[in-house]
A = this chain, B = another copy of it.
Amino acid sequence: MSYSPYLLSLLQRIGAVEGDLLEVAVDGREYSGVLMPHHEFSHPDVMILKLKNGYNVGVMVTPSADVKVVAKRESQERAPRPMGDGKGLPQVSVLGTGGTIASYVDYRTGAVHPALSAADLLSTVPEMADICDVKAEVLYSTFSENMTVENWQHLAGVAADRLNSGVEGVIVPHGTDTMGYTAAALSFMLGDIPRPVVLVGAQRSSDRPSSDAYTNLVSAARFITSSDAAEVLVLMHDSSSDVSAAVHRATKVRKMHTSRRDAFQSVNAPPVARVDFEGGIDHLAPYRRKSNVKVSPRVEMEKDVALVQFYPGMSPSMFEGILEKSRGVVIAGSGLGHVSRELIPSIRRAVEAGTMVVMTSQCLHGSVNLNVYATGRDLLSAGVVPGGDMLPETAYVKLMWVLGQTSDLEEAGRMMVTDMRGEITGRREMQ
């Protein structure tokens, strides 16, 4: 989609071309920034400016707008650099999956569309070429609520290939809706990895003011090339201000806000690191270091697994129906890991029939403990496997993976209570 005739003639009249520094005053608001390429999803009446702070902003130009060229491209420093070839820098593989980080707002409808190529995305982040030699591929272009187990398996396979080919790290731009689930799946499937795999999302699309796509992508590239951590990680804004990003362990992170840029929070663990947008990287917790290990992904998953939250008034027949149809069920119980007493006989029958039932807590924070109250002891005696302080979502992904690795239920039970990827932390908060 190109500029409207009005905006095109205005830009021509003042002699503005891409890369020029412009000052724009419209409806009482002033913007100063470098004119960026107009892309196919932009509204015809909108110009995209890259502001001094690195953000792109879409400015709707009305007839009252006052637009001035302040500096021409060749005469000022902030002109957008063309994407360099990054030769000689560490190789980083970018595996695009879709999501807001790769999408644009359609200013006519207000709706968000996915970008169709990783190159399109990366063109707005030329700074990455100063940091690394980017090899971008688009695997999917989907909203992350549509990610499937098959997507996880394929993505793990491709990431393993790229790691084994010697890249310094893998960046996975991903929709934020289910980024935590995918991160946990990659963590279990990939096992010991030589270099980091960093999932990156955005809560604001890249042509909106205050988009976090740019800073999160650049921070991921900096983290991969500067830190010696080699885990599956999630990198997102650290606070509602625009100062730093948090790097979360894949199995401990959860989307905890629908819209804030710092929506992702580590639960029951500190983040692994913090990346300051001005420079430094602080490691906040122990982590696995880079190595020369070859990745041997194990991607098998049992798909007949369900995640069920307990609530008062839950229908025992509905609950029993879910148990009967599943090879594994993760319950997000109340408090320390409870359900109502009338549900326990169904759990006992399901366990006896070979279904693995794992208990987590809908509180999210803290650990289950089935030894404190009679309900918990009844659940243990019915054969429930305690999930420690695992997030319900992580326990769900882990149970699918564990049941895909072994058909021996005792072995599966041992794997569920054993910390494999940082998903269970020993500490229990007692305050």
Least CB distance, A81 to chain B, in whole angstroms? 30
A307-B309, A340-B146 given as contacts; is B258 within 8 A of A431 (CB)? no
- When distances are taken between beta carbons in the complex, the residues of chain B under 8 Å from A148 are 312-313, 340
Q: From the candidates B146, B152, B178, B366, name the one contacting A260 in the complex (CB within 8 A).
A: B366
Counted per complex, copies of this chain come to 2
A356 within 8 A of B: no
Residue contact B256 to A375, C-beta cutoff 8 Å: no
A14 within 8 A of B: no
Beyond contacts A147-B312, A258-B367: 5 other A-B pairs, Cβ-Cβ < 8 A, are A146-B340, A177-B334, A255-B362, A259-B428, A260-B366
- When distances are taken between beta carbons in the complex, the residues of chain B under 8 Å from A336 are 177, 258-259
Q: From DSSP, what is the main secondary structure of chain A's interface residues?
A: loop
Alpha-carbon distance A255/B366, docked complex (angstroms): 11
- When distances are taken between beta carbons in the complex, the residues of chain B under 8 Å from A322 are 318
Indicate with 1 or 0, residue by residue over A293-308, a CB within 8 angstroms of chain B CB atoms. Answer: 0000000000111111
Least CB distance, A352 to chain B, in whole angstroms? 21
A214 within 8 A of B: no
A285 within 8 A of B: no
Least CB distance, A413 to chain B, in whole angstroms? 21
A50 within 8 A of B: no
- When distances are taken between beta carbons in the complex, the residues of chain B under 8 Å from A143 are 338, 373-375
Which residues of chain A from 345 to 372 have any CB-CB distance to chain B below 8 Å in the complex?
Answer: 361-369, 371-372
Residue contact A313 to B305, C-beta cutoff 8 Å: yes
Residue contact B256 to A364, C-beta cutoff 8 Å: yes
Residue contact A258 to B311, C-beta cutoff 8 Å: no
- When distances are taken between beta carbons in the complex, the residues of chain B under 8 Å from A429 are 257, 259-260
- When distances are taken between beta carbons in the complex, the residues of chain B under 8 Å from A372 are 110-112
Least CB distance, A259 to chain B, in whole angstroms? 5
Q: Which residue of B lies closest to A103 (CB)?
A: B373
A154 within 8 A of B: no
Q: From the candidates B147, B312, B375, B428, name the one contacting A181 in the complex (CB within 8 A).
A: B312
Alpha-carbon distance A364/B255, docked complex (angstroms): 9
- When distances are taken between beta carbons in the complex, the residues of chain B under 8 Å from A308 are 309
Residue contact B315 to A258, C-beta cutoff 8 Å: no
Alpha-carbon distance A304/B304, docked complex (angstroms): 25
A341 within 8 A of B: yes
Q: Which one of A258, A261, A365 has the greatest number of beta carbons of chain B within 10 Å?
A: A258
- When distances are taken between beta carbons in the complex, the residues of chain B under 8 Å from A258 are 335-337, 361, 363, 365-369
Least CB distance, A421 to chain B, in whole angstroms? 18
